[in-house]
Structure 1
């Protein structure tokens, strides 16, 4: 520094650390805010459109229903639909005629009558077998019954064509030493000159040796034979049971025969 001259001044910079910082939102945040606002407006618009469409369909359905009832007019069916008090117990109650009176209206109920299918149940008699080996039955009284079928001398007569379930059960006594036993269900039809075998049970039975004692049965060795099947029968066919080499035990509950239509 020269004497008597003016000195060069030193510049001092001071940094203020307490200055306030102002953050400026970025462009990306502004863009997301605009997109969110548009999406919200779109959802609100769709909701309002749905309400308008739903109201339109409800109004259309109401107009169609009103037109239907106005077209029916005074038809009894429409009156019953509009006034449920006219229906009692599932029957439609309508006034007969146009003249008012104090009389109770007559209710006409048309019921479709289903034709009853033929059936029969025959039970064993005191004289089980005749001279031709045809089993005789009881067709009336107790549990025995015939409906839309006839019975004549051991033969069940078909009156209506169809498919029938036939069954026969007998209780036999193999008292002899050994026997060839045959239990048959036969059919007589006008198409053939002789009987036709529908079902057959054939077995060789021998008397069972039982120990002697007070509980041993006297001379009886009981066996059961049961036959059943479905067959197509014509009107006029005769069904009967034939037994060969069998001593049948008499009794209503021991022996029986029956048939019932299953189709049509």
Structure 2
């Protein structure tokens, strides 16, 4: 105790052993799950990108393989890939190439084009001549590997699938009548019994308004077309019930046929 003064109170520290301590989470531990999620999403995105790129490469490889497989059946590709064999089989192709230093592409020989030409026929115009079964007789005829007998019938020489078509222009300005436009076929398979391939049937009457506008004529068109399998020896022709109603003119009336493919290709 100091002299002449009041003594100071001593400081007392109390320790509470029963106090509970709560640990505070550190900042580094809470950030780790977020970083791992972002890294996982990045890996998934890279994986998907790799799958897309690989699919593109596979598709391009497939297209190139398909083009090569289609090309190898073409005579020109066979000549380029097998020069010795193609030279033995078609000397005309090798002769067209010329000297070795020439850069010209070999062409298909002319005789191959002639072999690949398909039958066709186009008959135009018409006459009012009434023949058996009211068959339309044509005026102008252009044919290849098909025969026109001059009485309206077109004969088939090569079997195959043909596209047939016919158009007639008629004048219905006189009276009402039922007009039937047909494309027929005679075949030896049925003892040349007439078979109807296509037919257009309509009732046409005189129309004064249309007749005045067209100078006393009431014209209308009938068109038929389709694909049919024809055999060698079949005869194709067009019939009309009122054949006298045909409006004359080469571009107004016609009939035609051309082969689409031989019969054995589509079987």
Who is 1:163 aligned against? 161
CA distance in 1, matches of 2:100, 2:210: 79
Q: Which digits, 9 at most, give the CA deviation of each residue in 1:76-107, with x for residues without a partner?
A: 97xxxxxx953341259xxxxxxxxxxxxxxx
CA distance in 1, matches of 2:211, 2:118: 52
- Per the alignment, do residues 198 and 87 of structure 1 end up closer, same or farther by CA in structure 2, a change over 3 Å counting? same
Preserved contact between residue 128 and residue 248 of structure 1 (Cα < 8 Å): no
Preserved contact between residue 127 and residue 136 of structure 2 (Cα < 8 Å): no
CA distance in 1, matches of 2:105, 2:218: 61
Who is 1:137 aligned against? 138
Q: Which digits, 9 at most, give the CA deviation of each residue in 1:200-243, with x for residues without a partner?
A: 00011111122897x6623x211100000000000000000000
CA distance in 2, matches of 1:137, 1:120: 12
Alignment of 1:240-255 (within 5 A): 240-246=237-243, 247-255=245-253
Alignment of 1:117-132 (within 5 A): 117-127=118-128, 129-132=130-133
Who is 2:145 aligned against? 148
Q: What CA RMSD, in Å, does the superposition of the two structures yield over aligned residues?
A: 2.7
1:198 Cα shift? 0.1
TM-score (norm 1): 0.55
CA distance in 2, matches of 1:91, 1:216: 57
- Greater C-alpha Rg: 1
CA distance in 1, matches of 2:187, 2:148: 15
Who is 1:196 aligned against? 195
Who is 2:258 aligned against? 260
CA distance in 2, matches of 1:234, 1:161: 4
1:111 Cα shift? 6.7
Q: Are 2:225 and 1:228 equivalent residues in the alignment?
A: yes
- Per the alignment, do residues 221 and 212 of structure 1 end up closer, same or farther by CA in structure 2, a change over 3 Å counting? closer
Q: Could you list the runs of 4 or more consecutive aligned residues of structure 1 that deviate by over 4 angstroms after TM superposition?
A: none
Greater helix fraction, Structure 1 or Structure 2: 2
Name structure 1 gaps, 5 residues minimum: 1-75, 78-83, 93-108
TM-score (norm 2): 0.54
CA distance in 2, matches of 1:230, 1:211: 34
Preserved contact between residue 125 and residue 253 of structure 2 (Cα < 8 Å): yes
Q: Which digits, 9 at most, give the CA deviation of each residue in 1:132-166, with x for residues without a partner?
A: 310001244xxxx1000000110010000000000
